[in-house]
Amino acid sequence: MPRFLNRELSRLDFDERVLAMAEDPKLPLLERVRFLAIFSQNLDDFFQVRVAGLKEQVLAAVAMASPDGMSPLEQLRAIRTRVEGLVQRQMDIFNDELVPALASAGISLVRGEDVTKKELSQLHTVFRQQIFPVLTPLAVDPAHPFPYISHLSLNLAVIVRDQQRNQTRFARVKVPPVLPRLIPLVEGQRYVPLEDVIALHLQSLFPGMEVVDHHPFRVTRDGDLDDVDSDAEDLLAAIQTELRRRRRHARVVRLEVNPGMSPAVLELLTRELELQPSDVYSSGGLLDLAAAGTLTQLDRPDLKEEPWTPTTQPRLRGLGAEVPDLFVVLRAGDVLAHHPYDSFATSVEAFIDHAASDPDVLAIKQTLYRTSGPASPIVRALIRAAEAGKQVVALVELKARGDEQANIAWARALEEANVHVVYGLVGLKTHAKVTSVVRREGRHIQHYVHVGTGNYNPSTAHQYEDVSLLSADPDLGADVTELFNLLTGYSRQQRYRKLLVAPTSLRSDLAHLIEREAKPGGRVVIKVNNLVDPELIDTLYEAAQRGAEIDLIVRSMCSLRPGVAGLSERIRVRSIVGRFLEHSRIFSFGRGEEAEHYLGSSDLMPRNLDRRVEVVVPVTDSNLRARIQDILDICIADDVLAWELHADGSWHRVPTAVGLNSHRRFQELALESARSDSAVARVVPHA
């Protein structure tokens, strides 16, 4: 039995757990639809990054096997088998369960051939006024080469016949992504897929021709920019050039079709897209079920989870209508916020907004990996601070996958506001989530810092579970200052007072902390998104063999094989999949009051430990350490949302005994805290 599990198949295991949420009849109907859409988005990401990378290895004749012993070609074959089964399950759930259930709830998905005469008349108007002007049919003949098919685009392959010349031709019609995928009809909550509306009107696109047949198809291309030359003198220009190149030349890695596509059309597509039969995936029904996620935006609270409104962390509330002075609060002690249960807006956003407005703040320095663009409250605060004359530095990561173009746009908006925008270290992606605020207080300078596990993105902060630490600790302030000197200037800083930083010391620091617990009575608890680093897995194996009890909470990929006699019988691995996406990275070493707790941006993957700038910070306040321990304990006790990894590599739901849903428990704790704090506020007089 291999000591490591394959990381790619482990990622598909996670996608299967997401798919299982869509199968759960206990969930509200539109929540099941949401999980089905998330599964589709995850699979798109998997193909454009992971499958694309394996294909590059095959083309380059890379002979190196993965840590579990599989060659790139063996992995691709195993992936195809798994994906075929998962996609079939997805379509069965959608066609056999969700579509009928939606119809019973008054939300009908209608295919083109099933619309009524009245609806068809309405669609004629919609097509003529809103759809037809956007379409561009592209012919394929000796004078018109096969057109470029864009990444993740949905298309119609159309066969037309010129009866005068008795010739049959192929044409491609792209389904415009700028239009809604589901077109609403007048008669109740009925929706028709956009591609079906186009198909009903193909004759108007090819007047004088006979439309013989049409078939939908979808293309996925290589979408990873990690191979961009980070040593380029102008990284911004290099990224822009690569984005333009990828739009035209990125290799196709997947073709999705319906089973009814004619062999001739399928042969044409595979030939022109330079694909093998193993790259073609056939599924009955709608292609790109991520589009079904638009239904979750309907005003149907009866079909959704009850909305969650984050509460304000107690020490950040102030009294009555007063807005607290966050710098006074932080000088009195560190603050920990657990998102989305604790509000991102009244903690992290408020911290940066307060710094931007405070006349005594001299400088704000921040890393930005992903955010919600120029309209983001954080970006606006940085611009306002720069316009007020403060020294503002934004380290923008241009290679944040999927957000490259957006990051370029708002990086330029920051530059126009006189924010100093830098793009990080040569050869490394900056993934750390850190902010430094420098403030003049009397005759001395005070540093305030934020270190978090999640992005500075107010949009995802409502759905991603993360942890933030706000502090006025002088050692942390000095560390973060030196970190920014490393990121923006010339520095060979290797060690810090408190911070653990990749790629310099984080790997060895974590290994040392694990090794310290490698004894009877030793204790390690780690919560991450992914655990695939072979060296640290071996360190965990060795610690378990020497007597340490180890609990790992891993949302997605896990290459460690738990429960193997003589290797890992003291290691337990679980994954929590539920309403909120588990995203925090938390590390705990030791037991009781002596335990050390850390939080930060790094997963346990070679790329995070060796090829990225990551920051992990110790939590030293005893009350906050207790809260971190509570978070871990609740995750370990969850028997509703939790899955457990077995020694054979299979995942199984944890049997429900107590009925502890960690997400609901964290909501309850946040509400209890809000109520108790409100009661105190009513009896405490204003100063």
Residues classed as catalytic: 431
* Stretch 667-685: mean pLDDT: 67
Residue 482 has a pLDDT of 93
> Given a cut of 80, is residue 677 above it in pLDDT?
no
Q: Residue 249 — very low, low, confident or very high, per pLDDT cuts 50/70/90?
A: low
Task: Name the H helices within 52-167.
Answer: 52-59, 72-92, 99-104, 117-126
Cβ neighbours for 676, distance < 8 A, ≥ 6 positions apart:
none
The mean of the pLDDT values for the chain is 90
The span from the CA of 251 to the CA of 96, in Å, is: 34
* Stretch 157-168: mean pLDDT: 88
> Given a cut of 70, is residue 240 above it in pLDDT?
no
pLDDT digits (tens, 9 = 90+) for 349-360: 999 999 999 999
Residue 143 has a pLDDT of 65
> Given a cut of 60, is residue 569 above it in pLDDT?
yes
DSSP for residue 70: -
Residue 491 has a pLDDT of 61
> Given a cut of 80, is residue 69 above it in pLDDT?
yes
Q: Residue 582 — very low, low, confident or very high, per pLDDT cuts 50/70/90?
A: very high
The span from the CA of 296 to the CA of 298, in Å, is: 5
Q: How far is CA 192 from CA 98, 473, 488, 567, in A?
A: 16, 58, 52, 55
Residue 566 has a pLDDT of 94
Cβ neighbours for 568, distance < 8 A, ≥ 6 positions apart:
540, 541, 544, 560, 561, 562, 647
> Given a cut of 80, is residue 281 above it in pLDDT?
yes
Residue 681 near residue 319, CB atoms below 8 Å = yes
pLDDT digits (tens, 9 = 90+) for 408-457: 767 777 888 888 888 766 678 889 999 999 999 999 999 999 999 999 99
* Stretch 213-224: mean pLDDT: 92
> Given a cut of 50, is residue 262 above it in pLDDT?
yes
Cβ neighbours for 478, distance < 8 A, ≥ 6 positions apart:
447, 497
Residue 681 has a pLDDT of 40
Q: Residue 64 — very low, low, confident or very high, per pLDDT cuts 50/70/90?
A: confident
Residue 414 has a pLDDT of 83
Residue 239 has a pLDDT of 46
Within this chain, domains 314-496 and 500-675 share the same CATH topology: yes
Class of domain 110-293: alpha beta
CATH code for the domain defined by 314-496: 3.30.870.10
Q: What are the domain boundaries of the chain? A: 1-105, 110-293, 314-496, 500-675
CATH code for the domain defined by 500-675: 3.30.870.10
> Could you give the percent of the chain with pLDDT greater than 70?
90
Q: How far is CA 23 from CA 16, 30, 36, 91, 108, in A?
A: 10, 12, 9, 11, 19
Residue 399 has a pLDDT of 62
In 3D space, the residue among 344, 354, 351 whose CA is nearest the CA of residue 311 turns out to be: 344
> Could you give the percent of the chain with pLDDT greater than 90?
76
Token couple for 545: 């063999």
Token couple for 667: 């909501």
pLDDT digits (tens, 9 = 90+) for 284-333: 989 999 999 999 999 999 999 999 999 999 899 875 556 789 999 999 99
> Given a cut of 60, is residue 244 above it in pLDDT?
no
pLDDT digits (tens, 9 = 90+) for 500-530: 999 999 999 999 999 999 999 999 999 999 9
Residue 538 has a pLDDT of 98
pLDDT digits (tens, 9 = 90+) for 606-634: 999 999 999 999 999 999 999 999 999 99
Max avg pLDDT among 107-116, 492-501, 568-577: 568-577
- As a whole number of Å, the end-to-end CA separation of the chain is 67
571 three-state secondary structure: strand
Residue 492 has a pLDDT of 67
Fold classification of 1-105 is Methane Monooxygenase Hydroxylase; Chain G, domain 1 (1.20.58)
Least confident range from 163-167, 271-275, 681-685: namely: 681-685
